Amino acid sequence: MRTPGLFPRLSLAAAALLLFQAPFVRAASVPQNASPANLELSSLPPEERGDLFMARKEYFAAIDAYRQAPTDAETLNKMGIAFHHLSAIDQARKDYQKALLIRPNYPEALNNLGAADFAQRDYKRAIRLYRKALQLMPQSAVIAANLGTAYFARGNYKSGLEAYQTAFRLDPDVFDSDAPSVISGPSGVRDRAREDFCIAELFAQAGNQDSALFYLRRALNNGFSDRNRLLQDTDFAQLRKTPQFAQLMAEEKIH
């Protein structure tokens, strides 16, 4: 049975994309000297070949393989992701839409179509698609995080924080820079600073001081300048007692 996985993560504030796809073949399961010939790829079903090419980041080959597979919503969604990797957003959008014609309530494809809209800065439409996807898959931390990021991109910080709180509650690792997912960052520096500050608050509330400091530093580097909020926010009460916080304040020359 095919189940959706997550698009590989790059970084939170770098404008990247959070997409769903089928699980990739783990690199450790393929011999280092493997080649298409000695793996006898031609003997594999087209969709499996496509998945293997995707794991190798050979997106053109993956697209060609998926085109030879039976046309269904899952394959179209995967083909859209391959085009998305190649920054062919318009073509990716067409494949996501085709997938949704077959399965109108396909949350992964709705999320990915939202990511395409986000990439083209149509944040209002992205929010609508993310909200629908989250209704269909309410336990998805990554969709909730995507929704929050889209709200931040539109300057709706209250809704953005609420969506981030939902994402964090579902999976505290959703904002981890090493997690296997990517959340698109807002395009404006001011919005990125607010986003990073809110994530720092979430980590501070959870008692994860290292991650709170990491995102707080990013917020300051992106121009967060609300000194009173920084020094009075109760979420940072314990963090402010640490030498690491004092060092950060000294580095940023905030007193």
pLDDT at site 173:
85
- Quote the mean pLDDT of the chain: 81
Give me the half-sphere count of Cα atoms (radius 13 Å) on the Cβ side of residue 128: 5
Which two structure tokens, joined as six digits, stand for 248? 């950060």
pLDDT in tens, 85-126: 999 999 999 999 999 999 999 999 999 999 999 999 999 999
Label residues 234-249 b or e (16+ Cβ within 10 Å = b). eebeebeeeeebeebb
The DSSP secondary-structure symbol of 28 reads G
Mapped onto helix, strand or coil, the DSSP state of residue 171 is: coil
- Confidence band for 249, pLDDT divided at 50, 70 and 90: confident
> Which amino acid is located at 11 in the chain?
S
pTM exceeds 0.85: no
pLDDT at site 218:
87
Taking the C-alpha atoms of residue 238 and residue 121, their distance in angstroms, rounded to an integer, is 38
pLDDT in tens, 158-203: 999 899 999 999 998 888 754 444 444 555 677 788 888 888 998 8
User: Which range among 15-29, 127-141, 154-168, 238-252 shows the weakest confidence by mean pLDDT?
Assistant: 15-29
233 pLDDT above the threshold of 50: yes
Taking the C-alpha atoms of residue 108 and residue 173, their distance in angstroms, rounded to an integer, is 20
pLDDT at site 187:
56
211 pLDDT above the threshold of 50: yes
Mapped onto helix, strand or coil, the DSSP state of residue 6 is: strand
pLDDT at site 174:
86
84 pLDDT above the threshold of 60: yes
Spell out the residues 6+ positions from residue 107 whose beta carbon is closer than 8 angstroms to its own. Answer: 20, 132, 133, 134, 136, 137, 140, 143
19 pLDDT above the threshold of 90: no
pLDDT at site 196:
87
**CATH for the stretch 5-138:** 1.25.40.10
Which two structure tokens, joined as six digits, stand for 21? 């796809």
The full set of domain ranges for the chain reads 5-138
